[in-house]
Amino acid sequence: MAIYIVRHGMDNENYRGGWSDSGLIEEGMEQAKLLANYLSDNKEKYSINKIISSDLRRAVETAKEIESKLNIPVKYCSDWREINNGVLAGMDNKDALIKYPGLFFNTLDMSERYPNGESPSEFYNRIQSTFLELCNNISTGMEEDNVMILTHGGVINVLYYILNNMKWTNKSPKLSKTSTTGMHKIEHVEGKWKIVMSNSVEHLHYYSEI
């Protein structure tokens, strides 16, 4: 039993992310295509049976490239979104610094919400609940195994803390790199879900090496 966690392709970093619905930049589309081709050429290695994706545009565009190559319909789910950063979503970084000086994810208190958005605590609880439900459904046979999740960097960081049974706050350091289109693999081993592959970007170099 395996779960593959994948971050979306590269988007425009000049704007605040979160619930921004901006899409991939050209390099991000190329990353998504390379990943899709790689997965198609290595179907037996990964044996993906189901794809679940955040419904934010940058994840959707990444998922659609994979869907087209693997012929597996994508299920879109808002529970896998990045933190809801409310009024800052999609805002130009320069404008955000002027209108909301000092307001960043790691400057919030755990229970403090972004204006019109979500608190770090609410974000964590959403991801924990969604992930544990998926794990339970797979381990009990209610859900197909070998599932791929298309999501976001902040989500992946939270998952690492959950899987390592460590306390997470919005000030906690990253436990793994979360490169755009980087793949992380979780396996069910001896009754527990364990990380067995972190941030693989083999697909970005695969075709230049063969």
CA atoms of 110 and 107, how far apart (whole Å): 9
Query: Cα–Cα–Cα angle for 53, 55, 56, nearest 5°?
Result: 115
CA atoms of 180 and 167, how far apart (whole Å): 25
Q: How many CB atoms lie within 10 A of CB 122?
A: 15
58 is annotated as contributing to ligand binding: yes
Q: How many CB atoms lie within 10 A of CB 164?
A: 12
For the chain, the C-alpha Rg in angstroms (whole number) is: 17
Alpha-carbon torsion (42, 43, 48, 54), positive or negative? positive
CA atoms of 20 and 35, how far apart (whole Å): 23
Q: Which of 59, 88, 91, 94 is nearest to 75 (CA)?
A: 59
Active-site choice (61, 65, 82, 143): 82
82 is catalytic: yes
184 is catalytic: no
Annotated binding site: 58
Active site residues: 8, 82
Per the annotation, binding residues for substrate are 58
